[in-house]
Amino acid sequence: MSAPPKARPARTMNPNGSVNVVRLGLKRRVSQDLYHVFRTTTWPRLLGVVAAAWLLANLAFAALFYLGGDCIAGAEPGSFGDAFAFSVQTLATIGYGAMSPKTGYAHALVAVEAFLGLLFTAMTTGVVFAKFATPTARIMFARHPLITDFDGERVFMFRIANERSNNVVEASVTVSFIKDQVTKDGTFLRRFTELPLKRSATPLFVLGWTVFHVIDEASPLYGLGEAELAALNATFLVVFTGTDDSLAATVHARHGYDWSDVRFEHRYADLITQGEGGRPRVMDFARFHDTLPKRAPEEGS
């Protein structure tokens, strides 16, 4: 009876460049790093947390006003709805004038809630502004890098594109080859090696850029096929950096390729169509990720 096939290990890096590792043993408290948590979370999650905090705060103070009895002038005694409405007005410092505190207990609650409302508004505004103000790059990375012969050389190649119509000046790309390695004393580690590129920088990045690494005898990829890359659990980390000409700010993007993403002896589909009759060239991004076997006719992959 043959042994069951060995399960393929999970990829160590996600396509967005984040590390696919579960962290254990850290004693970091989220409450001590809230700003970073809110800055890095998604917009729906941030807005959901803000809405939930706003609702809970108003419910808590409405309950305190409700327990204070007839302490709100202009409100119906024993009405939780009026207490909640008064809490909303107080937290937001609206003050329509129809309802107001009329006891020392209510005045104390109003003072505390108004102060917390100022802090809540300031912190929420700061986080939202910081997320909006953070410059980002909209860089499209080809879904599959290639190892193939190109222009008489063996190369590792992939292409990237600018999804915006702006210019990115002084753009640069670095590619790191990451593999499993066991040292002579039996220590397991992940070895990083930066791949030299034929062109690692461009003064102006507008549309597309094909990045090449020549696989010669000095290359860490020399002699490696699909089976060898799989045995090394190979990963390629791509980091793009440049200056957004519109924002005058540094932007960056990263992408991770697993060994299983690499296609051998393929080429990329053509993107650019020459214009006729004085018309401009057309770049069809719908074909950006398409690859074809080297001898195949031009058609979708």
Partnered with residue 256 across adjacent β-strands are 237
Out of 82, 98, 133, a domain closes at: 133
The single-letter code of the amino acid at 96 is Y
What domain range is 251 assigned to? Answer: 139-293
| Residue from 211, 210, 181, 209 nearest 196 by CA | 211
Rg (CA), the chain: 29
Out of 79, 99, 133, a domain closes at: 133
CA distance 159 to 162: 11
Q: Which residue has the tokens 């580690």?
A: 189
Same domain for 119 and 157?
no
* Each residue's pLDDT tens digit, 114-155: 999 999 999 999 999 999 888 888 999 999 999 999 999 999
* Each residue's pLDDT tens digit, 7-66: 566 777 788 777 777 777 777 676 678 888 888 889 999 999 999 999 999 999 999 999
Domain count, the chain: 2
Same domain for 149 and 285?
yes
User: Quick count: other Cβ atoms within 10 Å of Cβ 259?
Assistant: 20
* Each residue's pLDDT tens digit, 244-279: 988 889 999 999 999 999 999 999 999 887 767 667
Structure tokens, 207: 């549309």
Same domain for 148 and 56?
no
pLDDT at 214: 97
CATH number of 93's domain: 1.10.287.70
**H helices, E strands: number in the chain:** 5, 16
**CA dist list (Å): 48 to 82, 129, 179, 195:** 25, 17, 40, 42
Q: Which residue has the tokens 């970091």?
A: 28
Same domain for 105 and 153?
no
Out of 108, 133, 158, a domain closes at: 133
% of the chain with per-residue pLDDT over 70: 93
C-beta separation of 220 from 195 below 8 A: yes
